[in-house]
């Protein structure tokens, strides 16, 4: 058991280091090629912070462990809202305004709604509760729509100057990297992600068997929080640098990537059956998403500390109950 814990820690560490390598390498390539820093933040960084989830899910799919895939994605999205927004807003209230309310959060709600509906096939009378390849393809098509509007809109309008300055400060480097060195860093990061994902999935599955815990619970807890660490680090760095508004963008963008890209690709590789208790997990993920939308629509247009505590309590309370109920 001790060795499995050590391998799990090693795997999560490799996921963090690999994800950082992918972000830095891809950002360096984009900067060297003259791509807007804001577009980099909305695409490359959002993908980079979701890369650990993608790596874990692909490994789990190839190993035919759908419960881990399901738990990792749904749990990561819950953790992004409950933990990352909750903790970040405790440090400093998070402003939520403009395009974030008009498009990004509604797009997250659309993605959440699509995933929830796809998980209730039996109620709709269309077979078993499984995310099959057709569902995966539909999610990827929605992801392309999201990319089109996100990148196209900001390329056409050049975005707001304040957002450009904030994004540029977040991605400042001492000197622009070359395409070759950035490509190498990206490749090494991907190797770290794949290796870390393999170690993480194997050790997590072994621990689940040792303690008699369902694999979906391991995915919802350890793996979900572990693979959400890049988002937490990015959000805390933005907040400490005085750009707390970027934290909400990081979370919302990552959740959209998780649901549409990661879930879509995973379902294409290997269909994901909704595990026991999974429907309630979907409902709570939707509830947290609606809560985030609700606190964003208040008159103050920001997530304040009291609201962040509510998000934290909801997330931690459900996760505790879910774990006890599954083990009992």
Identify the pLDDT of residue 155: 61
Which stretch of 25-29, 64-68, 79-83 has the lowest confidence by average pLDDT?
25-29
Q: Mean pLDDT score of the chain, rounded to an integer?
A: 79
Contact at 8 Å (CB) between 31 and 177? yes
Of 279 and 323, the structure prediction assigns the larger pLDDT to: 279
**Amino acid 184: pLDDT:** 84
81 vs 101 pLDDT, higher one: 81
Tell me: pLDDT of 13 over 50: yes
Least confident of 153-167, 242-256, 260-274: 153-167
Q: What is the mean pLDDT of residues 193-198?
A: 71
Confidence grade of residue 162 (pLDDT, cut at 50, 70, 90): very low
pLDDT at 142: 94
Q: Taking residues 237-257, what's their average pLDDT? A: 75
- The pTM of this model reads 0.77
Q: Is the pLDDT score of 42 beyond 60?
A: no
pLDDT in tens, 200-228: 767 877 777 777 778 788 788 877 877 77
* 124 pLDDT more than 60: yes
Residues with Cβ within 8 Å of 98's Cβ and at least 6 positions away in sequence, in order, are 160
Residue range 53-81: mean pLDDT, rounded: 88
Name the pLDDT band for 175 (thresholds 50, 70, 90).
very low
């Amino acid at each position: 058991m001790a060795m499995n814990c050590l391998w799990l820690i090693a795997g999560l560490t490799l996921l963090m280091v690999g994800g950082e390598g992918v972000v830095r390498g891809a950002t360096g390539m984009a900067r060297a090629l003259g791509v807007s820093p804001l577009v980099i933040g909305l695409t490359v960084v959002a993908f980079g912070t979701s890369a650990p989830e993608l790596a874990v899910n692909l490994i789990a799919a190839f190993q035919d462990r759908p419960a881990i895939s399901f738990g990792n994605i749904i749990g990561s999205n819950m953790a992004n809202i409950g933990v990352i927004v909750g903790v970040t807003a405790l440090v400093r209230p998070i402003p939520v305004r403009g395009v974030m309310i008009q498009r990004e959060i509604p797009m997250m709600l659309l993605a959440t709604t699509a995933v929830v509906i796809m998980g209730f096939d039996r109620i709709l009378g269309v077979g078993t509760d499984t995310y099959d390849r057709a569902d995966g393809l539909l999610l990827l098509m929605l992801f392309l729509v999201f990319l089109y509007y996100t990148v196209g809109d900001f390329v056409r309008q050049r975005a707001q100057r304040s957002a450009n300055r904030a994004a540029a400060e977040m991605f400042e480097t001492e000197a622009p990297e070359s395409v070759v060195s950035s490509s190498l860093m990206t490749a090494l990061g991907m190797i770290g992600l794949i290796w870390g994902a393999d170690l993480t999935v194997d050790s997590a599955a072994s621990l689940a068997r040792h303690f008699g815990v369902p694999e979906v619970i391991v995915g919802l807890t350890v793996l979900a929080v572990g693979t959400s660490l890049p988002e937490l680090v990015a959000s805390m760095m933005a907040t400490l640098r005085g750009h707390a508004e970027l934290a909400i963008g990081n979370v919302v963008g990552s959740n959209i990537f998780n649901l549409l890209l990661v879930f879509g690709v995973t379902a294409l590789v290997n269909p994901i059956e909704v595990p026991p208790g999974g429907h309630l997990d979907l409902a709570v993920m939707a509830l947290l998403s609606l809560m985030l939308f609700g606190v964003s629509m208040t008159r103050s247009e920001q997530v304040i500390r009291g609201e962040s505590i509510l998000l934290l309590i909801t997330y931690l309370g459900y996760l505790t109950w879910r774990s006890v109920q599954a083990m009992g």
